[in-house]
Amino acid sequence: MRILVFVLGLLGVLGCAVLGGALYYALFVDPRSTLDSRMTVIRQAAKLGLPNLRAGIEADHEAVLREWRTFLMLWPAAGLALVGSILAFRRRGFSAAALLLAAVVGPTFFFPKTIIFTGILILAGLLALLIRPAQPKLAPVAAPSEEPVEELAEEEPAE
């Protein structure tokens, strides 16, 4: 069970990291980045005070902020999922479940469609609840000796 949770957790880490990298590329690296052009249009329309475009511009501004917030949550979520996966492998079921499920909350709150990539972490977190700690190894019991054990006589307290 712990190996299954570890593998599912690593797949969730990969999904978070890839989606975070794709958003990073789309927001900052791509020369056709829509972030700069969108923010420029938003600023210009705000200066002009165009009432017809106001609702559309505010919606676009919210979309840009949502993408930004989602990007900021995906890489930390990948880190939480990685630590949770390692804890699951080390038989720390409840701690692993808490981290794996917490890794889903942030990105999903800001952009619910990220559940496509982080949903596997929900399954891993629920399965991590089934992981039990390893039983301590008991020392081997020595064979009883053949010599009779002398019973200690109880001494009466001196008065």
Report pLDDT for 157.
Answer: 64
Report pLDDT for 143.
Answer: 65
Report pLDDT for 41.
Answer: 61
Cβ of 27: how many Cβ atoms within 10 Å? 17
Q: Structure pTM?
A: 0.67
Per domain, the residue ranges of the chain are: 2-33+70-128
Report pLDDT for 65.
Answer: 74
Report pLDDT for 150.
Answer: 59
d(CA 159, CA 139): 44
Joined together, the tokens standing for residue 83 give 């630590």
Segments of the chain with pLDDT less than 70: 30-61, 141-159
Question: For 114, left (φ over 0), alpha (ψ -120 to 50), or beta?
Answer: alpha
